[in-house]
Amino acid sequence: MAHRIEVEHGTHLFVEDIGSGQPVIFLHGWPVNHKMFEHQIATLPEQGFRFIGVDLRGYGQSDKPAHGYDYDRMADDLRVVIDKLDLKESVLCGFSMGGAIAIRYMAKHGGKGVSRLALMGAAAPVFTQRNDFEYGLPKENVDGLIDGAYADRANMLVDFGDLFFGKEPSEAFNGWFHSLGMEAGPHATIESARTLRDEDLRSDLHTIAVPTAIMHGRNDQICPFELAEQMEKGIEDATIIPFEESGHSLFHDEPEKFNDVLLQFISESVKI
């Protein structure tokens, strides 16, 4: 089943809703869409869970308004989806930028409807380096992505893919994944990159009051592993699950472990 949910006047999000049972909500990373979770779309309903895949505003099959690409607004969008679908006791799973939005949702909306949180290669608590935060990417690297999006977005995404995958994908997979990035609005891609560069979630972490799994690749070149350690320090009930053979794309680099850890976390508790 697919939904088009109006999150503010004239702006609708596309939401894939498959299966029944406990809801598991997926928030994708920059600049793709919910289709990146295709293995979870196939697996979770078979295991008795309800897959909820959200295309964030500006991405995939969702509307692409000119505004609203900050974490506050995207967290508000998620609140509308959770309320409209009446989701309760959900597991919220955020990858990369989606992880950052999930953190802001937990802080701003008190985690309404969410009983567990999975942060997967999350772009948090701060994506870029600053005077009081030595981790993450230099801000100029993100400026380079923005300049590349203006000049030749398709080629910029090819270059970004070289950093994204820890294990080289097949030509077919690489082409498919690149196409997901090209489904995004160019303005959404640029504005979200600015948000990634500038937002700071450090004060949000202590508000998270649910069990949290931090799934992170040891060799992540986009969201370095040190970010996972900073998140664990800030979230009271958090456990890091390192993916020793993964870069940023832990869902691709170690797909069986990714599904096993996620299913175990959804079902009961994380055991390393």
**Residues with a known catalytic role:** 96, 220, 248
Distance of CA 126 to the CA centre of its chain: 14
Query: Do residues 95 and 27 touch, judged by C-beta distance below 8 A?
Result: yes
Question: What number of CA atoms fall less than 13 Å from residue 157's CA on the CB side?
Answer: 20
Q: Shortest CA distance to 232 belongs to which of 251, 249, 213?
A: 213
Measured between alpha carbons, how far is 192 from 226 in angstroms, rounded to an integer? Answer: 22
Question: What number of CA atoms fall less than 13 Å from residue 212's CA on the CB side?
Answer: 28
Report the largest interatomic distance among the alpha carbons of the chain, rounded to a whole angstrom.
Answer: 47
Structure tokens at 77: 């969008």
The CA-atom distances, in angstroms, between 72 and each of 201, 228, 237 are 11, 22, 23
Q: How many helices (H) and strands (E) does the chain have?
A: 9, 8
190 Rama class: left (phi>0) / alpha (psi -120 to 50) / beta: alpha
Letter for the amino acid at 81?
V
